[in-house]
Every structure is written in structure tokens, then in C-alpha cells.
Amino acid sequence: MPAPPEATTIKDINGSPEQEAYMKCLIEQLTITPDKLSRICEHFKGEMTKGLNKEGHTLAMIPSYVEGRLTGEEKGNFLALDLGGTNLRVVLVTLEGQGKFKTVSTKARISDTLKTGPMRDLCDYIADCIDTFLTEQGLEDQETELPLGYTFSFPVLQSKINRGTLLTWTKGFSCTGAVGKDPVILLQDALLKKHLPVKVTALVNDTVGTLLSNAYNKPDTIAGLILGTGSNGAYIEQMDKIGKWQGGKTAFPEMIINMEFGAFDNERVVLPLTRYDNKLDRESINPHSQIFEKLISGMYLGEIVRNVLTDMMDRELLFQRSEGFDAKTASKEISVQWGFETSYMSNIEDDSTSNLSRTKEVLDTNLSIQNASETDCRIIKRVCELVGTRAARLAGCAIAAIVQHCGVNEKGADIGIDGSLYEFYPSFEKRTYQAISELMPEYPDITKVVRLGLARDGSGVGAALCACVAARMEDIKSKA
């Protein structure tokens, strides 16, 4: 088994004995050895099974009501609607078969007034946007209703492919008259009032959308992952393994499960949490929850690095170069929560200059730190490597758990991944593969067996495919 290639020694830091002692201890805490990795993976698989069999476990393992697999031959016009961040996006997706598709889309900003006002106003606004878009596309007088897949990225308890209840708002939304209601019905009412030829046929979770968008041209797709602001995964499960299913007989023997794996090990049984992670958790808006997500996703990695760096500053182990220079007062930015973004880690890790001039530049432009020595920069780069490597290895652990849970056949497995962290963080993918290969040593070339790939636009193409699957299920049920 190959050893983890990086971030295991301190000899090249060339710091003071105190700095080296600190780094040695840090490396021990942040390195996930193959042995630890394998224990985490075993626990992960056990939690998956628990969540499939009973409600209320840490891994929620939510049935998505999306049944069966895609063939790539799905065809037709579908709308997709994505609500969940700063923008509202409407997409017209034309599925052409053979895994090919075309999209046209429009974006609109959601004002703070709409985000916090009555839900009816927000739905009327969405209906207006769809109306304008249909007119632009010459589809306003469609004879048949266009099916719409609605990616609604808030916590929803789903009860059918196009039915669910909003549990609570997140991300700055707080519209009145929505919690406890079905977002599909509220939107459909607004569309009806305007006599728009659109029917909301699917309520889509973004991981499920990511899986579907990858599966349309890669039929051996078994899972979709989000590695962006947050992280989560979805995979295709056999109905007979979903012990808690009470929805009666399904049209297909398989269903996509939304794992909600960001909550994995909230009870802290296996994850090697450090005090830097504990600090982040305690100061977050959701302490004690989403622990796994907090170790692996874009919103948090920079903050963990910041926690290490500020601790080193307090111990006078960083930025000590010039007499009278006090980094704590010179850089306000580094003292502020979330002041160190995950994208800085990407830039710092990407620095291959011999004197780490790019790292210096990142510190200077983003954090007003002008006094970093080369040793400081080597330390900071190493801290980024440690936190970034741990994240990628844990993501790999989740992937290996899914693949092993599902079993590997001769065709191997495709995994679609969406999110800026996976897309832009250098070596994230390489490190993820490294972890998977340690967990599955029986495969000499893991990249041929577990094929990771960027799957963009789960909330566009993925949602449209979900609407398409919904229509297929409806069709089968009406004939049954």
C-alpha cells in the first residue's frame, strides 16, 4: 500500500526548535493514517446501514422517491428551477438522447425583501420570472404542460417525488407562510394564477440532481457528491435494503438515497477532532451538528487553518521577524472569524516558487500581512496541506464506503462530483484517490474502478432529468 505522499515530515520547514515542535504535534493531530482511515470507513458503512433501517439515526439516509436508472435515451423539453442562494435560476433543458442535451437559462437576483417577506410574494415573483423566460423562448402558448424540476435547497421532508414539507429556512431566507407547507404546492398555485403551461413534477435535492446529471452520459454512475460550500452525497440503493421504507411497492427495484452525510459522526465516535475543529464548531451557528461537513467543505477549511495560525501567533511562533512588529494588530483580517478563505489555501498550495513569493502575495493582498518570513510561509503552506489533505482523505473515505456498500462489478463505478472545492483545489482529487486506493488495495489502478468526475449543473440538467424520471414513474403507475 502506498504511503500518503505528503505532509508527513517537518524537516523541510527549517524553523526554530519551538516551531518544529509545534508542527510535529500538529502533523500528528491532522494526519489520518491508513489505519484510522479504515476505521472511519468501517464506521461510516455501519451508520449507512443503521440509517437505512430506522428513522432518527445520524446518517438520515432519506429516500428521494427517484426510482430506477437513466438510460441516456431520455428525450424532451423540461424546465428546471433552482432556488437556494443569492440567485434564482430558470433553465430550459432539451434532452436529445445519447447522453446529449442543450440548455438555455436566465438568472434573477432575489432581493432581501423577497427573502424575508410573505412566501406568496416570492412565489409570484418566481412565476413572473418563469413567465418572462417562456415568452423569450417562444413557449408561452405550449399546448402540453412543461414538466418542471424544482431544486429547493432547504431542509425538506419529502413524501413523494413532487411533495414535501419545508422544515425550516436556512441561508438568510425567512419568508412567512412557508414552514410546514409544501413548496411545490405554493409554487404551483402561483403558476396557475398566471395560467402558465408549467407543472412542477419533481422536488429535487442538489446531490440527487448531481447524480442524475452524471448518470445521463455515464450509465455506471452510482453516486453524486457535493464538495462546495457544504458537502453531502446521494447514491443508488436497492429497495430491499431500505428497511425503513413504508411507501409500498415501487415501480423499480432501486431508489436514490440522499444520505445527508454532513452529519456523519456528530456523536464523535471515530473522527479525530482537534481543538482547532472544536473551536470552529463551537463558534459556528450550528454547534455539534454537521461535524463531518465541517472537516471537509469549502465554507470551513480556511477557518480551521485560521484557527491554527492564530494559535501559533498567540504563542509567538509566527510573524516574529521584525522588532516591534505585532501581527495581531497589523492584520485585523486574520483575527476575524471566516477571515481566511478556503480559496487562499488553493492559491498557497499552488505556489511552487522557491521563495514562496505567491504565498507572500496571498498573505499581503488578502490579510495585510507584509512581514511573513520564508519560514512563516513554509509553515503556513504546510498547515494548508495538512487541513486540505485531511479533507480530501475524508471525502475519499465517504466515497469508498458508498462503493463498498454497493459492491463493485466488472464495469466499475462512476461518481459525479459538483462543487468549487473539488473543482479548484489543487491535488484535492489526487488525495481523494489516494485515500480510496488505501481503502480498496485489491485494485492496482483505482482510477479505473472508481471514476471520479466533475458533474456540473445538478440543479439544471439534473433537475430536468428528475422531472423526466417523475414522468416515467407516473406513466408506469397509470398503466399498472
Per the CB < 8 A criterion, the answer to whether 188 and 130 are in contact is no
388, interface contact from ligand ADP, Mg ion, none, CB < 5-8 Å by kind:
none
209, interface contact from ligand ADP, Mg ion, none, CB < 5-8 Å by kind:
none
443, interface contact from Mg ion, ligand ADP, none, CB < 5-8 Å by kind:
none
| Closest distance to Mg ion from the beta carbon of 458 (Å) | 7
| Closest distance to Mg ion from the beta carbon of 32 (Å) | 26
Q: Does 366 bind ligand ADP (CB under 6 A)?
A: no
341, interface contact from ligand ADP, Mg ion, none, CB < 5-8 Å by kind:
ligand ADP
Give the C-alpha separation, 91 to 82, whole Å: 8
- The only residue of 49, 159, 229, 404 in contact with ligand ADP, by rule CB under 6 A: 229
Nearer to Mg ion, 190 or 391 (CB): 391
DSSP states along 322-343 = STT--HHHH-SGGGSTT-S-HH
Q: Does 427 bind ligand ADP (CB under 6 A)?
A: no
Query: 372-376: long-range contacts (C-beta < 8 A, 24 or more apart)?
Result: 372/319, 372/321, 373/319, 373/321, 375/13, 375/14, 375/15, 375/19, 376/318, 376/319, 376/321
- The only residue of 221, 342, 371, 434 in contact with ligand ADP, by rule CB under 6 A: 342
- The only residue of 310, 346, 371, 389 in contact with ligand ADP, by rule CB under 6 A: 346
- The only residue of 244, 424, 427, 474 in contact with ligand ADP, by rule CB under 6 A: 424
Q: Is 131 a catalytic residue?
A: no
Which residue is nearest to ligand ADP, using beta carbons? 228
Catalytic hit among 82, 124, 206, 265:
206
Per the listing, cell 413523494 goes with 160
H or E, element range at 165: strand 163-166
Residues in touch with Mg ion (CB under 5 A): 228
Nearer to Mg ion, 21 or 454 (CB): 454
Q: Does 463 bind ligand ADP (CB under 6 A)?
A: no
| Closest distance to Mg ion from the beta carbon of 83 (Å) | 13
DSSP states along 178-231 = -TTS-HHHHHHHHHHHTT-SEEEEEEE-HHHHHHHHHHTT-TTEEEEEEESSSE
Q: What are the angstrom distances between the C-alpha of 198 and each of 139, 150, 190, 266? A: 10, 12, 11, 41
- Residue 286 burial (10 A CB sphere; 0-12, 13-18, 19+): exposed
106, interface contact from Mg ion, ligand ADP, none, CB < 5-8 Å by kind:
none
| Closest distance to ligand ADP from the beta carbon of 391 (Å) | 10
Stretch that binds ligand ADP, among 253-261, 312-320, 361-369, 417-425 (CB under 6 A): 417-425
Per the CB < 8 A criterion, the answer to whether 343 and 45 are in contact is no
Nearer to ligand ADP, 276 or 425 (CB): 425
425, interface contact from Mg ion, ligand ADP, none, CB < 5-8 Å by kind:
ligand ADP
395, interface contact from ligand ADP, Mg ion, none, CB < 5-8 Å by kind:
none
224-261: burial string, b at 16+ Cβ within 10 Å, e else: bbbbbbbbbbbbbbeeebbeeeeeeebeeebbbbbbbb
Interface with ligand ADP in residues 30-89 (CB under 6 A):
85
Catalytic hit among 107, 171, 194, 328:
171
> Cβ contacts of residue 170 below 8 Å, gap of 6+?
154, 155
Give the C-alpha separation, 435 to 151, whole Å: 31
Q: Is 218 a catalytic residue?
A: no
Nearer to ligand ADP, 272 or 298 (CB): 298
137, interface contact from ligand ADP, Mg ion, none, CB < 5-8 Å by kind:
none
Nearer to Mg ion, 82 or 303 (CB): 82
Q: Does 209 bind ligand ADP (CB under 6 A)?
A: no
Q: Which of 109, 236, 119, 228 is nearest to 173 (CA)?
A: 119
Question: How many residues sit close enough to ligand ADP to count as binding (CB under 6 A)?
Answer: 14
Q: Does 228 bind ligand ADP (CB under 6 A)?
A: yes
Query: Helix H segments across 315-408?
Result: 327-330, 342-349, 357-367, 374-406
Give the C-alpha separation, 428 to 332, whole Å: 30
Which x/- pattern over 255-274 shows residues binding ligand ADP (rule: CB under 6 A)?
--------------------
- The only residue of 61, 299, 401, 417 in contact with ligand ADP, by rule CB under 6 A: 299
CA atoms within 13 A on the CB side of 179: 10
- The only residue of 343, 370, 404, 427 in contact with ligand ADP, by rule CB under 6 A: 343
Give the C-alpha separation, 18 to 16, whole Å: 5
- The only residue of 26, 32, 421, 436 in contact with ligand ADP, by rule CB under 6 A: 421
Helix axes 357-367 and 342-349, enclosed angle (nearest 10): 160
H or E, element range at 476: helix 463-479
Catalytic positions, written as ranges: 171, 206
Interface contacts to ligand ADP, rule CB under 6 A: 85, 228-229, 298-299, 341-343, 346, 419-421, 424-425
